[in-house]
């Protein structure tokens, strides 16, 4: 099972399925932004869609004292373009491409430099803390990052575990 599908089954309510993403809108976003999104990221969101996790994810992270930032949302392709097209003057780091966020307004991102030279299999995922203006590398790939939310720490928890 793909990492994002496993994430969606564990943390998203089945009555609210992941938002579907089509290949054409993803290609249009890449063209508008002038870059190539990582292949693992594209495979995962095309196969699964964009899940909407419940508060159980945040509750589980906090209750089990896990060193993870909660994932509240992943951006659909049209939002990728809207929020990343002109970052200058917004306070958002120009070297990052936001792909999602947590419950506190911080963001998950790829480094734009990793996406400039044509198709790549994967790229590191970073966390940008808007309060402190700091960036932290979270994982070597989108798939690895998403898999961290369904790692052994989460055993026994589900979307309704809060």
What tens digit of pLDDT does each residue of 56-70 get?
Answer: 999 999 999 999 999
Contacts of 162 (CB under 8 A, 6+ apart): 54, 55, 56, 58, 59, 60
In this predicted structure, what is the pLDDT of residue 54?
97
In this predicted structure, what is the pLDDT of residue 88?
73
Beta strands in the chain (DSSP E): 73-74, 96-101, 107-111, 125-129, 134-139
Residue 135 has pLDDT above 90, yes or no: yes
Q: Is 118 left (phi over 0), alpha (psi -120 to 50) or beta?
A: left
In this predicted structure, what is the pLDDT of residue 23?
98
Confidence of residue 113 (pLDDT cuts 50, 70, 90): very high
Distance from C-alpha of 41 to C-alpha of 97, rounded to nearest angstrom: 13
Distance from C-alpha of 45 to C-alpha of 49, rounded to nearest angstrom: 5
Residue 87 has pLDDT above 90, yes or no: no
Contacts of 65 (CB under 8 A, 6+ apart): none
Residue range 3-154 forms a domain whose CATH class is alpha beta
Residue 21 has pLDDT above 90, yes or no: yes
Mean pLDDT of all residues in 85-98: 86
Residue 85 has pLDDT above 80, yes or no: yes
Residue 144 has pLDDT above 80, yes or no: yes
């Amino acid at each position: 099972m793909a990492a994002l599908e496993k994430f969606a089954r564990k943390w998203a309510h089945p009555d609210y399925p992941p938002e579907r993403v089509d290949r054409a809108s993803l290609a249009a976003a890449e063209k508008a932004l002038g870059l190539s999104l990582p292949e693992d990221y594209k495979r995962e969101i095309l196969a699964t869609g964009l899940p909407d996790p419940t508060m159980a994810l945040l509750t589980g992270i906090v209750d089990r004292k896990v060193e993870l930032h909660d994932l509240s949302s992943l951006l659909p392709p049209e939002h990728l373009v809207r929020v990343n097209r002109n970052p200058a003057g917004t306070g958002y780091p120009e070297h990052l491409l936001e792909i999602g966020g947590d419950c506190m307004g911080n963001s998950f991102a790829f480094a734009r430099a990793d996406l400039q030279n044509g198709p790549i299999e994967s790229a590191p995922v970073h966390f940008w803390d808007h309060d402190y203006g700091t960036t932290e590398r979270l994982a070597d790939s989108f798939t690895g990052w998403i898999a961290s939310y369904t790692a052994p720490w989460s055993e026994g928890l589900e979307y309704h575990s809060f």
